[in-house]
Amino acid sequence: METVQSVQTTATPASIGAAATGMSVAEAACLISRSREYLYSGLRKGQFPGTQFGRGWTMPREFVESFVRDVLQRGLSISFENYAADWRARNDAEASA
């Protein structure tokens, strides 16, 4: 009979939650058909919503999925930059209400 070895992890509940609500830049780039460099540039400039963890970035999963749903699948005519600005404005308004 085999025994199961325990696995040590440095993940904290906060980092686990971040993984569930965020996605990597590489994953986001693939979903929205943009380059990683384009997304990194926008994240560094503050144009796109995202969080930096050390040297890496994550983007809100809700934001990327809503862009895919609203723009790519429904065919809305709006740039990624404008969509990001509108999304951030809506979220800021909801947070302050």
- Determine the Cα–Cα distance for residues 7 and 91; give it in Å rounded to an integer: 38
- The 10s digit of each residue's pLDDT in 13-63 is 444 444 568 999 999 999 999 999 999 999 999 999 999 989 899 999 999
pLDDT exceeds 60 at position 86: yes
- Determine the Cα–Cα distance for residues 55 and 47; give it in Å rounded to an integer: 18
pLDDT exceeds 70 at position 7: no
